[in-house]
Amino acid sequence: MVENAINKMATKATPKIKMYEKYIRAAEAVQKAQGKTLTLEKKVALATTLNNTKMICEATNSANIPSKTFFMDMLTAVVPNLIAPDIVSTQALESKAGMISYLRFSYGSDKGQTTAGTMFNNSLYTGHSDPYYSARVIDGEAVETGINFEYVPILPKTVTVVLPDGNTYTDDGAGNIINPANGNATVGTINYATGAFTCTTAVTGSTATYEYNNEQVPDLKVPEINLSLAQIPIFAKSRKLAAYWGFDAAYDLKQQYGAEILEVMSAQAAGEIAHKQLVA
């Protein structure tokens, strides 16, 4: 699924990749020298970022930008070396606002303590997980006298009813609800076929744990799960760096150490951006 998304993203970005082929080749050469590979995902991100920068520069008063070339050089050095694409799937935004679509899985039926609509997993994080949801065990279903159990047919001698006061009743296998603490006195009934339940003291707040025959057809009730495509908005936060130096400093650096001040400043700026990405 991720691979298909990247391929679609690459198809859409192909014109941009061709437009900035010179910069992409330069980045590939640097990656190759480091024993790395410039992946398709990084090429798309670099091309999109370069195009975004080009549009920003065109929309900005050029008097405020000493040299647009430095913008391009910085991006070519920084974007391919960001750690994010090596950890997760990334996609460069084409504007400051975007939308992330992700898969969301939820329970579709009430079962035990789980209610329909509860999210149990999605592409971003894991939610509530009910270990009994697909099993024949129903754990902690809310019950009270006169209300049928949800899952039938019920297996005899599997019913346990817990009252709000903590007292526990069970079934005797013959359809009777008994109180073990009172000499197995009968306090109610349970219809294994229909789930009809009566009890002299089972009130609101009582719960039942039982098992049902989840292999019987055609009356089998099967818990469901639902899949939906959810979306969340995302917004890019602006980060800006400006580098200043004196001509005499550039001259001295070149004469004494043989280093180009543009390369030194670019490396430091790239390192600062990478550090901010890690700690942000």
Query: pLDDT, tens digit, for every residue of 81-110?
Result: 777 777 777 777 878 888 888 899 999 999
Tokens of 35: 């024993």
**Residue 95 CB partners (closer than 8 Å, separation 6+):** none
Q: What is the pLDDT of residue 33?
A: 73
pTM reported for the whole predicted model? 0.61
Reply yes or no: is the peptide bond before residue 131 cis, omega within 30 of 0.
no
Burial of residue 229, with CB atoms counted within 10 A of its CB: 0-12 exposed, 13-18 middle, 19 or more buried:
exposed
Per-residue 3-state assignment (H helix, E strand, C coil) for the chain: CHHHHHHHHHHHHHHHHHHCHHHHHHHHHHHHHCCCCCCHHHHHHHHHHHHHHHHHHHCCCHHHCCCHHHHHHHHHHHHHHCCHHHHCCCCCCCCCEEEEEEEEEEECCCECCECCCCEEEECCCECCCCCCCCCCEEEEEEECCCCCCCCCCECCCCCEEECCCCCEEEECCCCEEEEHHHCCEEEEEECCCCCCEEECCCCCCEEEEEEECCCCCCCCCCCCEEEEEEEEEEECCCCCCCCCCCHHHHHHHHHHHCCCHHHHHHHHHHHHHHHHHHHC
The pLDDT of residue 25: 84
| pLDDT, position 72 | 65
pLDDT of residue 270: 72
What is the pLDDT, as a whole number, of residue 1?
52
CB 143 within 8 A of CB 197: yes
What is the per-residue pLDDT for 5? Answer: 56
pLDDT digits (tens, 9 = 90+) for 210-241: 999 998 866 778 899 999 999 989 888 877 77
Residues of the chain predicted below pLDDT 50: none
| pLDDT at position 189 | 96
